[in-house]
Amino acid sequence: MSYLLPTYANFPLTAVRGEGVRLWDDAGDSYLDFCAGIATCSIGHCHPKLSQAISTQASTLMHCSNLYQIPQQKELARTLVEDFVKTPGKIFFGNSGAEANDGMIKAARRYGHAKPDQDGKARYEVITFNLSFHGRTLGSMAATGQQKVQEGFAPLLPGFRHVPFNDLDALREAINDSTVGIMLEPIQGEGGVNVATADFLKGIAELCAENDLLLMLDEIQCGIGRTGTDMGWQSICPELKPDTISWAKGLGGGFPIGAFYVSDRVIDADGTELSSLMSAGSHGSTYGGNPLACAAALAVLEEIQSAELTGNVQQREQQIRTAITSWEHPVITEIRGKGLLLGFGLNSEALDVPEGATPAAYLCTKLMANKLLTVPAGPETLRWLPPLNVTEAEVSEALEILKNTLDSLAIC
């Protein structure tokens, strides 16, 4: 008898301990963790610097209301803006990805009020993309371009329109008088590890400039070093200047935190900065940006910078791509993604998938039996998201498990 709502279709594994890329279950078996809490344990399980930062802060001051000054929050915001985004802006801290996206959408609504259409009506519509995933709150769910996420929750929050990803013509056609922003994951995670092309990102930036729209990036999965660059979009189109950005997952390294950025870009002749629209009283969160969460995220960012983890991410990506390409395996059709956000397209014809399972979920189950944790991205993509500090030897070990498992399952 379980008292948990049955919202998760989860695997029968009970994790009790983690260290680096290893996870142990309640039977004492160890796994190589290439799921990493779905791109969340960015510097591995229980990294000593992260555990230390949390325990020091926990025994000093855990929580303090945003009614008062929080130095850890200021320092974290400074690091994110100066070292990672590298374009002036301001940050708001929350506790999760969906919440960060809701805040970002609120910022877009404010912009729509500040810069209404020619009839003086506030603009409010945000265009997002098919197969996107933005979260489970009422706002982020409505933004998400997947029916299965929205099933049975109508009426949805109005103000979203979905168009095909990487299709600039469809996007141009969808823009109308009430459009206020274009929101996307530069690399769609849950939707199958689909990478936006550089031309698509450049085209979006042009459409935003022509139509006075906000360019809104959801970097919750692809940000913070994951793609081998500080920010996900920088691995595709480094010159892009987003107006708003959301983060969560890897930012806290396993400690809950979310955040969104709003650029200081001047939006009118009076010199009004975009970030100023989120004025006092416009948004808030009791837990958001408390000293404990910010100390954890600061330790994560500090480790990503000092250990130069983006360089490791690039090398491990090459290692994985080189090995898998050389196999020419009948089950793997292609490798998509950037850095250590990688998706392997699966050929369902070459696998004997049991009734009711998807090729990706079936393969994940088999890999788990062989002590490698991975995660599906849609029905036909296997996703690898190991910690950013995964070593060459650990990647070799995972590659060997993948190869052996695929060989044992392939039917042609």
Ligand X SMILES: *Cc1c(COP(=O)(O)O)cnc(C)c1O
Residues found near ligand X in the complex (CB under 6 A): 96-98, 101, 133-135, 185, 189-190, 218, 220-221, 248-249
State the minimum distance, in angstroms, from the CB of residue 260 to ligand X: 11
Closer Cβ to ligand X, 123 or 255, answer by number: 255
Closer Cβ to ligand X, 91 or 220, answer by number: 220
Q: Which residue is nearest to ligand X (CB)?
A: 97
State the minimum distance, in angstroms, from the CB of residue 99 to ligand X: 7
State the minimum distance, in angstroms, from the CB of residue 301 to ligand X: 18
Q: State both tokens at 316.
A: 């491990």
State the minimum distance, in angstroms, from the CB of residue 149 to ligand X: 11
Closer Cβ to ligand X, 183 or 399, answer by number: 183
State the minimum distance, in angstroms, from the CB of residue 85 to ligand X: 17
Strand 244-247 versus strand 258-263 pairing type? antiparallel
Closer Cβ to ligand X, 146 or 272, answer by number: 146
Closer Cβ to ligand X, 98 or 331, answer by number: 98
State the minimum distance, in angstroms, from the CB of residue 256 to ligand X: 8
Closer Cβ to ligand X, 221 or 234, answer by number: 221
| Residue environment code for 305-331, b if the CB has 16+ CB neighbours within 10 A, otherwise e | eeeebbebbbebbeebeebbeeeebeb
Closer Cβ to ligand X, 381 or 405, answer by number: 381
State the minimum distance, in angstroms, from the CB of residue 365 to ligand X: 22
* HSE-up (13 A, CA, CB side) for residue 60: 12
State the minimum distance, in angstroms, from the CB of residue 363 to ligand X: 21
Closer Cβ to ligand X, 101 or 381, answer by number: 101
The separation between CA 243 and the C-alpha centre of its own chain, rounded to angstroms, equals 17
